[in-house]
Amino acid sequence: MSVLKTPQYLELIEARVREPAALVRALSGRTKRSIAGADGRLMLLAADHTARGMLAAGGDPMALADRFTLLDRLIRGLATSGVDGVLASADILEELAFLGALEGKLAIGTMNRGGIIGAKWELDDRLTAYDVAHIASMGLDGGKTLLRLEDTDPGLPSTLELVARTTTALADLGLLSLIEPLPYLKDAQGGAYLDPSEDKLIKAVAIASALGSSSAYTWLKIPATANPEKVAAATSCPILLLGGDPGANWEQVFDNWESALAVPNIRGLVPGRALLYPESLSVEEAVSRAAAMVHGGAR
């Protein structure tokens, strides 16, 4: 059942026209909190998919295309006990803040969204969302970068440099740098797809951990694999597990998370579509189950 009401959404639309600064004030002036709580673990919701044109979830290729529905699901997820915050682009963070959903929550700004899904340049991930200066000025808690590693792609060196430079700048400000390192392959037509190799993911984790002039504020965002302890052993940095789009295999995703969360430096989850658009559960049921895995039940 929707918790976002039509009058609230219409007020948001009207504010964009008549008082756009209200969105900025809502985000920059929200009540803040520390990064990790008493248990040193984090449960975040990911909502930065739309910024690079990824709109599919489950069997619906346009599931995320309805903004009212997406915001409603995010508000419901953020209100669930044990959820610490959200990772999103500026449009979504400002909307959530305007609607009052980010008080006392972490807000992580996504940064390089230029790798539009399906584009010929997809792996050339340019900075098209937040930059470091605006993450700081908007009072965000950190920034997230995507680092997709494919050995033949000409855009990779510039992306490596971008992520390293961003990590350094965030660390200088004492802000979290959440890096998502993923190994990729290309098909015969040049299309990019995720490399399932655990060894390649370990290599990606090692590279990401060393980026920038300081790793003190670096966290990593990676998939849960068959041997999470082997992957996590490549770094001492804290790790959050992503969810992807599990479709009908959502139960397997939960099982993978549960076993991986026993690894000492795997400190939580940052799923998006897996929890916001579950196949068989409500948003509240899916998010609550994941949050209980992260925080060990009621906080």
pLDDT tens digits, 46-87: 999 999 999 998 889 999 999 999 999 999 999 999 999 999
Query: pLDDT class for 247, splitting at 50, 70, 90?
Result: low
The fold of 6-295 is TIM Barrel (3.20.20)
- β-pairing, 142-149 vs 192-194, is unpaired
The CA-atom distances, in angstroms, between 212 and each of 39, 100, 107, 136 are 28, 35, 22, 18
Residue-level pLDDT at 211: 98
- What whole-number distance in Å separates Cα of residue 177 and Cα of residue 216? 9
What average pLDDT does the chain have?
Answer: 94
Most confident stretch, 8-12, 119-123, 279-283: 8-12
Per-residue pLDDT band at 298 (split at 50, 70, 90): very low
Q: What is the DSSP letter of 62?
A: T
Q: Where are the alpha helices (DSSP H) in 79-178?
A: 90-98, 132-137, 156-172
- CA nearest neighbour of 237 among 196, 172, 176: 176
The two tokens of residue 19 are: 């008082």
Domain spans of the chain, in order of start:
6-295
Whether pTM exceeds 0.85: yes
pLDDT one-digit tens code per residue, 200-210 = 999 999 999 99
Q: Model confidence at 299, in pLDDT bands (50, 70, 90)?
A: very low
